[in-house]
Amino acid sequence: MIHVRKSIVYGILALLALATGCGGGSDDSAPANRFISGTVIDGNTGIPIENALVTTSPPTESRLTDRDGLYLIKDSVSIGTVYDVTARQVGYTADTRTITVSDGGFSGADFSIITAVNGLVASVSTLQLPQGATTGSFLLSSTIDNTPFSFQSSEPAFTVVPAQGTLSKNQHLVIEVQFTPPAELAGKIAGQLVGNAENGGTGVQINVSANVPPDEITPDSDPFAELLDDGSQGEGGENPGGEPNPPAEDTDTALGIVIEDLIDGGTDINIHKFVLSGNSEIIVPFRRTVSSFSSFLPQLDLRAPDGTIVSTASGTSGILTATIAEAGRYALWISDNSLSLGGTYEFLLQVTTDPVGVADTTYGSKVEDTLTSFTDIDVFRFSADAGDQLLIPYARKTSSFSSLSMQLDIRDASGAVVATETGLSGTFMATLTAAGSYSLWVSAANQSGGGNYEFTLQKTN
């Protein structure tokens, strides 16, 4: 039955493609119709799965499979585009196939999905709110009856409604995510929603993010504007020093949060601007995030207010560092070192002397938090006396990436590292030689992953 129905669909697609190519003459400017089609079956029994949800990234249209497990996506499909096609069904582990839509036909993506462990099921694993939006939603269900659930958010800007409740088997509940933009903070705000099943079933984790547009900056409001536009730029896209004028993709960037962006083609350049004080050190962990563009090699150039390069780094991942002597408005230029197809990347800007987004912590209190991505850094501040002997038990709780290994760095008020520790779990011990303010930096060692963790700050003396 499956093969008969599938052959009929393929025949219809071939006729549609032929009709598109014939008609009353050709029009090279008109986009040709292309299709994505396939089947979704149970990986254990081979039985077709009805009403499985099939989606694509980049988004086209969402389709449900019919009684024979067949689906057909035909709207907004583009030639030459790489799509991640994902099949989901309640009670099954979602599966993704990567395909490229070729010229002259349709592309197929067949799925054989496996029954998941009993518990909560979310319709999405990532929720990106459109710019300016303050709400988003997803569906929550359970594969077992009478499942009490509760949600926690790693980022206070995101609130889950309802935050708790009880689900019957296969019930679909709309969960709303409300976003309250933090005051005086622009850029990407990211966090993780963790849903727990209180009856021992499996839980869910959803990465959520929203973009806060920066306030419009004018020469009157920006004390460093004259450093970027002093009237010395020449004609033809260059200034007298031979440097190219900043491209139009010029964005303001907040410190202390993970930023995701795209290099659209090998010659594209993104510019991220920010203000730094003098006598500080900047740290920029970065990482290529899309493996589909295997030759994309992010190139990072940190430029001073006068346009000169202060520091540079390149690779699939790494950390750019620089010591900043002069206060002013700096720019991080990101491009493709290999001049290939480009791709997506993420990075985080942080300063060591006066870090942004610091949370105060006290001795004896357990801290639970989340690294939302490979490049995320959490910073916690505390005070100590000379000779204090610190004892910090720490552990990775859950990991969205199984290779996560924690790195803990203790920095003094100047930003210098005085002690460091790396591991999945353990006890971090350090003796501090001077009294003052300190900070504990938590990150993923060698950008090994993201996930939940906990630690307790204590001293033995």
Share of the chain above pLDDT 70, in %: 77
In this structure, of 161-175, 226-240, 252-266, 381-395, the range with the lowest mean pLDDT score is 226-240
Strand, helix or coil at 46?
A: coil
Distances (CA, A) of 180 to 161, 177, 231, 338, 349: 13, 10, 39, 40, 22
Mean pLDDT of 87-100: 83
Torsion region of 193: left, alpha or beta (phi above 0 gives left; psi -120 to 50 gives alpha): beta
| pLDDT reported for residue 293 | 42
Structure tokens at 136: 């988003």
Residue 321: alpha-carbon gap to chain centroid: 22
Q: Mind listing the domains of the chain with CATH numbers?
A: 2-113 (2.60.40.1120), 120-212 (2.60.40.10), 229-351 (2.60.120.380), 359-459 (2.60.120.380)
| pLDDT reported for residue 338 | 76
Closest CA to 179 of 208, 150, 215, 140: 208
Q: Which of 3-7, 42-46, 208-212 has the highest mean pLDDT?
A: 208-212
Instruction: Write the DSSP symbol of residue 4.
Output: H
Residue, of 68 and 170, whose pLDDT is higher: 68
| pLDDT reported for residue 418 | 94
CA distance 316 to 338: 11
Say which residues have a Cβ less than 8 Å from residue 397's Cβ, sequence separation at least 6. Answer: 368, 451, 452, 453, 454
Share of the chain above pLDDT 90, in %: 26
Structure tokens at 90: 């309640």
| pLDDT reported for residue 379 | 94
CA distance 75 to 33: 8
Average pLDDT score over the chain = 78
Say which residues have a Cβ less than 8 Å from residue 325's Cβ, sequence separation at least 6. Answer: 278, 279
Instruction: Write the DSSP symbol of residue 68.
Output: T
Check if the beta carbon of residue 39 is closer than 8 Å to that of residue 48.
yes
| pLDDT reported for residue 19 | 44
| pLDDT reported for residue 163 | 94
Mean pLDDT of 413-436: 91
| pLDDT reported for residue 186 | 64
Residue, of 61 and 435, whose pLDDT is higher: 435
Say which residues have a Cβ less than 8 Å from residue 30's Cβ, sequence separation at least 6. Answer: none
Q: What is the pTM of this model?
A: 0.47
Say which residues have a Cβ less than 8 Å from residue 139's Cβ, sequence separation at least 6. Answer: 122, 123, 172, 173, 174, 175
Cis peptide before 156 (omega within 30 of 0): no
Residue, of 320 and 80, whose pLDDT is higher: 320
Residue with tokens 């079933």: 201
In this structure, of 75-89, 187-201, 406-420, the range with the lowest mean pLDDT score is 187-201
Confidence of residue 159 (pLDDT cuts 50, 70, 90): very high
Residue, of 44 and 11, whose pLDDT is higher: 44
| pLDDT reported for residue 349 | 92
Distances (CA, A) of 378 to 269, 366, 373: 29, 15, 11
| pLDDT reported for residue 264 | 78
| pLDDT reported for residue 121 | 83
- Encode pLDDT of 222-259 as tens digits: 433 443 444 433 333 334 344 444 444 445 788 888 88
Strand, helix or coil at 228?
A: helix
